[in-house]
Amino acid sequence: MNRQPPEQDSGMFLDNLRGVLDLRVKQTIILHNAPLSPAAVLVPLFEKGNEFHILFTKRTETLEYHKGQICFPGGARHETDRDLKDTALRETFEEVGVNPNDVRILGELDSMGTVTSNFLITPYVGIIPYPYEFQVSADEIETLIEVPISALLDEHNYREEAYDLNGELLTGFVFEYQGNVIWGATARIIRQLIEIAFPAGG
């Protein structure tokens, strides 16, 4: 059964989401044994047409990691970053031009290990203004994709697929919206956010 959007105003929804993120015990989800490098992403929420959306980036084919994939803005932690939240905000500014001062962080999701690039990603959920004059890095980002929350709540847009990783059979979520296919750690992050923000039967 599909989850339903909350019958409440946007401010109350954001306050409730912040409260849930503050109270939950954060975990680390690792699917295979390998050394992992710290990284962080921003899950950028914004309100458009009286509905919340999430901003995704489609990466260029020239990048070393996750080329051509649909992801959240973010990347590896630099030595100059004060913490992983600083990493997420810095990378978001570098990739799509959102000033860190324009982001209101609501909280963190579970850290997710990637299975191909060996990163341990910490996702930060944040609100950004909209409309916004995004400044997209042409070297890193091919295009921006705006996905409404209502599409994420529709179970028909999800499927599970099994894949082989060095002889180990793993199962992962795949999300598809208007021909855009999202998989891997990004799909797992989406799934967790939906389960937290819109609990079944809640």
- What SS3 state is found at 14? helix
| Count of domains forming the chain | 1
Q: Please report whether residue 1 resides in a domain.
A: no
**In a domain? residue 126:** yes
Q: pTM for this one? A: 0.92
Is 202 inside any structural domain?
no
CATH number of the structural domain spanning residue 155: 3.90.79.10
Residue 118 in domain: yes
Helical H segments across the chain, by residue range: 10-23, 84-96, 149-153, 184-197
Range of the domain at 43: 10-197
- Spatial separation of the C-alpha atoms in residues 141 and 135, rounded to whole Å: 10
- CA-nearest of 137, 48, 53 to 91 is 137
Q: Is residue 4 part of a domain?
A: no
Position 5 in a domain: no
Residue 3 lies in a domain: no
The pLDDT tens digits along the chain (202 residues) read 456 555 558 889 999 999 999 999 999 998 777 889 999 999 999 999 989 999 999 999 877 665 689 999 999 999 999 999 999 999 999 999 999 999 999 999 999 998 778 899 999 999 999 999 999 999 999 999 999 999 999 989 999 988 766 666 778 889 999 999 998 899 999 999 999 998 875 5
Domain assignment present for residue 96? The answer is yes
